[in-house]
Structure 1
Amino acid sequence: MSQKPPEKRLRLRRKENVERGTCKMNDATYKYLKISGKIEVVVAGKKKLELTASPTSDIPENEVWINVDEMKAAGLSDNSIATVRSARM
């Protein structure tokens, strides 16, 4: 039986300077979640987004920065809490 990938509840932030289809997150969080490129964002048990993640040291550990338009299209407000994990291959 395979072990579940690590996941963490993080705050989603709308940011203008992030490209569509990508997100930015803290280096330590990136390593903790064992991300190999893409993440899944799950809110209330429903998968909302799959994004390409890039680690950055200047972002708080409990936040994921996502493009404003992409979050609006998915129906997510700024400061939402969501479960984030590495995307399944």
Structure 2
Amino acid sequence: MSRVEKRLRLRRMDEVSEGEAKVNPKTMEFLGIKDQLEVVIAGKKRLTFKALPSEAVPVNEVWINTLEARAKGIADNSIATVRAKI
């Protein structure tokens, strides 16, 4: 069984707590995300975040913590594959 995944833009935001990611509720519904999401960058870096729904986030973006992104080597505006964590 294949999982639904989508290429989305990762944005660094100070308002997001470490280990969490803010996602548009419509995107969460489309991807079938319940509580955790998996982000894969360039097929190499695989990260897991607690998903929080937020209407402020555009449909094609995922917001993550600025310091955490910098520590893990994620540039602002990076494109990544996002899917629900099994």
TM-score (norm 2): 0.95
* Pick aligned residue for 1:31 from 29, 38, 45: 29
Number of residue pairs matched?
86
Segments of 4+ in structure 1 off by > 3 A? none
CA–CA separation in structure 2 for the residues paired with 1:84 and 1:46: 13
Of 49-58 and 77-86, more deviation after overlay is shown by 49-58
What RMSD in Å do the two structures reach over aligned CA positions?
0.9
Amino acid at match of 1:33: L
Q: Unpaired segments of 5 or more residues in structure 1?
A: none
Equivalence for 2:66: 68
Q: Unpaired segments of 5 or more residues in structure 2?
A: none
Tell me which structure has the larger Cα radius of gyration: 1
Change beyond 3 A, Cα 1:70–1:48:
farther
TM-score (norm 1): 0.92
CA–CA separation in structure 1 for the residues paired with 2:45 and 2:38: 7
Following superposition, the deviation at residue 48 of structure 1 comes to: 3.1
Amino acid at match of 1:29: T
* 1:57-82 Cα shifts (integer Å, max 9, x gaps): 12100000000011111111000000
